[in-house]
Homo-oligomer: A and B are copies of this chain.
Amino acid sequence: MVYRTGSELRAAARSGAFTEHTSGRAPGYVQANLVVLPRDWAYDFLVFAQRNPKPCPVLEVGEAGDPCTSVLADDGDVRTDIPLYRVYEHGELVEEIPEITSRWRDDLVFFLLGCSFTFERALLDAGLALRHQDENRNVPMYRTNIICRGAGRFLSSPMVVSMRPYLPRDAIRAVEITREFPGVHGSPVHIGDPEHIGISRIDRPDWGDSVSIRSGEMPVFWACGITPQLAALVSKPPLMITHAPGYMFAGDRSDYAFHLSG
C-alpha cells in the first residue's frame, strides 16, 4: 500500500489498517524516528543527540506530557500514528505494540529524529534505484563498531547504519545528493568493505531485511536513527519507547524541505 500523503499514512497506522514498514509508502513526505523518554532523562538524550548528530538529527521535541506534533505534522499523535512501537524497560526490549496510548504518561517527552527514508525520493529522482524497495523489503540495518559519544547517563554505544548497494559511479552520486540533506543523516558514514565498520555478515542485517548486492556494486552505509535504541540497551533508562526499525512516523512536510536549500 502506498499513501498519497503522510497524513493518510498516519491515519491508516492510527486505525490499524496499515501495519507494515514505511519505506516508499508516503512518497514525497518526511519520515522520522521516534524516541520517547521520561522528562528526567530528556536532557541527557538531547546532549547525546548533539554529540552524535549524524545518527541523531533532532527535528522536533515535544513538551512533557504532550504527544501531539506541531513541527513535522500539524495534527500528529506519536502514541498512535506509527505502525509499530518498541518498549524498552531498564535496557530490555519488553514488547512490540501497535500503539502506546496506555503507556503514555504526563512526564514523557517525545523526540522525532531525521530518517534516511526522507532522502530516498531524491535518490530515485536522480535515477538511483533503491534495492530494498525493488525487492519489496525493509531497508537492511546493522550494528557497527563506530562508537557514539556518551552524554550523562546516555552511555557511549555503537552507531547503527542503514545500507543501500550501488555501483561506484552511483555511490558517488548518492554521496553528492545525500550531503544536501544533513537533517536526515546527510552523507554516508562508510562506503565499501563492511568489515571495516565491524559488520561481518552483510547478508544478515541486525534489523530490517537482507537485500541482494549485485556484481560490481558496493554497499553504501548511512547513519541510522535506530542508534538510540542501542544506547538504551546499555544506558538502561527506566522507560524508553521508540518506533520499530523501518516503521516510521510520516509527516506533513515535503521531503525536499529537508534539503539544505529547503
Task: List the interface of chain A (C-beta within 8 A of B).
Answer: 42-43, 46-47, 50-51, 58, 61, 63, 71, 151-152, 179, 182, 260-261
A45 smallest CB distance to B (angstroms) = 10
A-B contact pairs, 18 of them (CB 8 A): A42-B43, A43-B43, A43-B46, A46-B46, A46-B47, A46-B50, A47-B61, A50-B58, A50-B61, A51-B61, A51-B71, A61-B151, A63-B152, A179-B260, A179-B261, A182-B182, A182-B260, A260-B260
Distance A260 CA – B176 CA, assembled complex (angstroms): 11
- A50, A58, A151, A261: residue with the most chain B Cβ atoms closer than 10 Å: A50
Q: How far, in whole Å, are A71 and B151 apart by their CA atoms in the complex?
A: 13
Q: What copy number does this chain have within its complex? A: 2
Cα distance A63–B43 in the bound complex, in angstroms: 11
Residues of B contacting A50 in the complex (Cβ-Cβ under 8 angstroms): 46, 58, 61
Q: Which residues of B contact A61 (CB under 8 A)?
A: 47, 50-51, 151
Write the chain B residue with the least CB distance to A182: B182
Q: Within 8 Å CB of A182, what residues of B? A: 182, 260
Min CB distance, A255 to chain B, in Å?
18
Kindly state the separation between the CA atoms of A220 and B92 in the bound complex, as whole angstroms: 52
In the bound assembly, the distance between CA atoms of A151 and B43 in angstroms comes to: 13
